[in-house]
């Protein structure tokens, strides 16, 4: 069912419930209104040093909210599979904050950044809890159900996020410098050149990384790889279809970047979390500009990409359909909550933006009044600090309870960009900085320098 059809369905149901909604919720404007001077959700100063937001629930609304909270139990055991170049650097903020506020035991990498790639971490690569029991995982990790079941109970909720494959290809091409890998030089739009005939680049796009004894292709089905499907099985579409069907059964939710707000509302509902838990900072600028970012492919180029990366399209279509199916099951008031979340997100982001800049409102606390969808909560300096973080490191250190040591940072997993660079120079590839240093490799982030012959 399309979004337009769903909206029409919601409107039809709304006609029959308008009088009832007006009677029960006339004191709760959270499901109506529009931006502007007449928006009854606009912020107002209620007490000294406090910014109060919205209006109070009616007594009936409070009872409905209390009844809902009794039947909905917050889910505190979850695994967030942080896929590459899909908006996870933004959405991980939700899971980091939830872990901090709820004091969850997070399985953390020893070093900063990814937990592991592409296999489950070895014993010395993650921080061990005394009882070896964990509540959450949220760093880069290739989905491996067998290993995860050894750490989490079967009722654990699995969550991830993916994006439309063509936009993902553009992001991959830019971030991993794949034009150099593919030897597409001197072109302003390597994606366009590549999609004229992707198959001619196969020998270069399929890259073997000796340090993990695995082949990875940054252009062909990379999202499905992160979800646990080997790159060398790219041509086995029926096998992939069965695997993706299992993923659909395993995952509570796979969010869709192009429908992030809808995904976040669904996340809130399925996990029984609160509005304060799932808000994202709308003024984040965690995107990288590049010349072909807005390029629109021709029908022929899209057809070539569909044939080349068919499994990723299968993955995307499966979970895009799953998202809308789950939204439909939520009922027509889903869109009322969606509009409400967007308004609250906008105004909380405005407040936190002013707080970051240190203007005269920085000392105030914004109070978001209770509504049909959330209890009252405060937005203070700490909340603003958390929600405005665009890099994972600062909140990771909050979860750890301290800063990373220099020794710990040497165990940070080296991503494919650096290993691509090493391969081009005829050097070995490495799992972490410690191993590279031991082999005499220096200056991994700039010009690679070999201090001694690699071992």
* CA distances, 113 to each of 116, 280, 435, 447 (Å): 9, 21, 16, 21
Q: Where are the alpha helices (DSSP H) in 251-373?
A: 260-271, 275-278, 299-308, 310-330, 334-357
Assign 55 a pLDDT band (cuts: 50, 70, 90): very low
Give the span between the Cα atoms of 117 and 419, in whole angstroms.
12
Predicted confidence at residue 447, as pLDDT, reads 59
Higher per-residue pLDDT: 16 or 440 = 440
Q: What average pLDDT is seen over the chain? A: 84
Confidence of residue 51 (pLDDT cuts 50, 70, 90): very low
Find out whether 111 and 400 touch, Cβ atoms under 8 Å: no
Q: Band of the pLDDT at 235, cuts 50, 70, 90? A: confident
SS3 246: helix
List the single range of 23-27, 128-132, 252-256, 441-445 with lowest mean pLDDT. Answer: 23-27
H or E element that contains 371 = none
Q: What is the pLDDT of residue 244?
A: 96
CB 335 within 8 A of CB 10: yes
- Higher per-residue pLDDT: 57 or 354: 354
Whether the pLDDT of residue 64 is over 50: the answer is no
CB 169 within 8 A of CB 305: yes
Element (H, E) at 152: none
What is the pLDDT, as a whole number, of residue 357? 73
For residue 40, pLDDT beyond 80 = no
Task: Give the mean model confidence (pLDDT) for residues 314-330.
Answer: 97
Please enumerate in sequence order all residues whose Cβ is within 8 A of that of 147, keeping only pairs 6 or more positions apart, or say none: 120
Q: What is the pLDDT of residue 9?
A: 43
Q: Tell me the pLDDT band of 44, cut-offs 50, 70 and 90.
A: very low
Model confidence at 1: pLDDT above 60: no
Whole-number Å distance between alpha carbons of 230 and 181 = 20
**Which residue spans of the chain are classified as CATH 3.40.50?**
59-165+235-360+381-407
Strands of the sheet containing 377-379, edge to edge, are 43-47, 50-53, 365-368, 377-379
C-alpha to C-alpha distances, 239 to 234, 236, 243, 356, nearest whole angstrom: 9, 5, 6, 50
- What is the rounded distance in angstroms from the CA atom of residue 8 to the CA atom of residue 3? 9
> 59-165+235-360+381-407 adopts what CATH topology?
Rossmann fold (3.40.50)
Position 234 scores a pLDDT of 75
Give the model's confidence band at 360: pLDDT under 50 very low, under 70 low, under 90 confident, else very high. low
Residue 31, pLDDT above cutoff 50? no
Q: How far apart are CA 375 and CA 157, in angstroms?
A: 24
**pLDDT in the model for residue 232:** 77
Burial of 357 (0-12, 13-18, 19+ CB in 10 A): exposed
pLDDT at position 452 over 60: no
Is the pLDDT at 34 greater than 60, yes or no?
no
**DSSP string covering 264-282:** HHHHHHHHT--HHHH---T
- Give the pLDDT band (50/70/90) at residue 30: very low
H helix or E strand, kind and range, residue 12: helix 3-24
Q: What is the DSSP letter of 359?
A: -
Residue 38: is its pLDDT beyond 60? no
pLDDT in tens, 106-155: 999 999 999 999 999 999 999 999 889 999 999 999 999 999 999 999 99
Above 90 in pLDDT, residue 445?
no
**193-229 pLDDT, tens digit each:** 999 999 999 999 999 999 999 999 999 999 999 999 9
Percentage of the chain with pLDDT > 90? 70
Residue 136 β-bridge partners: 78, 106
Residue 413 DSSP one-character state:
B
pLDDT of 449 = 65
Q: Which of 102, 103, 107, 118 is nearest to 79 (CA)?
A: 107
Q: Characterise 228 by phi-psi region: left (phi > 0), alpha (psi -120 to 50), beta (else).
A: left
């Amino acid at each position: 069912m399309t979004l337009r059809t769903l909206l029409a369905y919601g409107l039809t149901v709304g006609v029959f419930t308008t009088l009832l909604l007006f009677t029960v919720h006339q004191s709760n404007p959270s499901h109506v209104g529009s931006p502007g001077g007449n928006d009854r959700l606009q912020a107002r100063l209620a007490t000294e040093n406090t910014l109060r937001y919205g209006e109070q629930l009616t007594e009936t609304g409070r009872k409905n909210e209390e009844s809902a909270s009794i039947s909905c139990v917050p889910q505190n055991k979850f695994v967030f599979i942080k896929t590459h170049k899909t908006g996870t650097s933004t959405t991980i903020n939700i899971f980091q904050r939830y872990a901090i506020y709820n004091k969850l035991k997070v399985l953390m990498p020893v070093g900063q950044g990814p937990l592991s790639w592409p296999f489950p971490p070895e014993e010395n690569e993650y921080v061990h809890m005394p009882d070896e029991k964990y509540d959450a995982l949220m760093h880069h990790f290739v989905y491996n159900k067998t290993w995860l079941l050894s750490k989490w109970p079967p009722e654990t909720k699995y969550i991830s996020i993916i994006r439309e494959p063509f936009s993902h290809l553009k992001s991959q091409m830019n971030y991993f410098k794949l034009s150099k890998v593919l030897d597409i030089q001197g072109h302003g739009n390597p994606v366009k050149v590549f999609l004229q005939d992707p198959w001619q680049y196969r020998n270069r796009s399929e890259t073997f990384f000796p340090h993990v004894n695995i082949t990875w292709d940054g252009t062909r089905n990379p999202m499905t790889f992160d979800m646990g499907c080997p790159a060398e099985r790219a041509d086995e579409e029926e096998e992939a279809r069965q695997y993706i069907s299992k993923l659909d059964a395993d995952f509570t939710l796979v969010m869709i970047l192009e429908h992030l707000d809808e995904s976040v509302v669904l996340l809130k509902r399925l996990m029984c979390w609160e509005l304060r838990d799932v808000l994202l900072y709308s003024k984040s600028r965690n995107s990288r500009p590049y010349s072909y970012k807005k390029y629109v492919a021709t029908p022929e180029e899209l057809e070539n990409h569909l044939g080349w990366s068919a499994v990723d399209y299968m993955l995307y279509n499966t979970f895009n359909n799953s998202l809308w199916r789950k939204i439909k099951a939520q009922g027509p008031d889903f869109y009322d909550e969606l509009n409400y979340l967007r308004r609250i997100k906008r105004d909380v982001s405005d407040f936190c933006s002013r707080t970051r800049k240190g203007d005269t409102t920085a000392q105030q606390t914004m109070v978001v009044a209770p509504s049909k969808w959330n209890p009252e909560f405060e937005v203070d300096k700490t909340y603003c600090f958390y929600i405005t973080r665009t890099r994972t490191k600062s909140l990771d250190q909050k979860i750890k309870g301290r800063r990373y040591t220099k020794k710990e940072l040497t165990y940070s997993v080296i991503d494919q960009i650096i290993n691509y660079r090493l391969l081009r120079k005829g050097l070995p590839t490495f799992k972490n900085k410690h191993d590279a240093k031991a082999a005499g490799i220096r200056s991994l982030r700039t010009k690679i320098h070999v201090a001694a012959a690699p071992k």
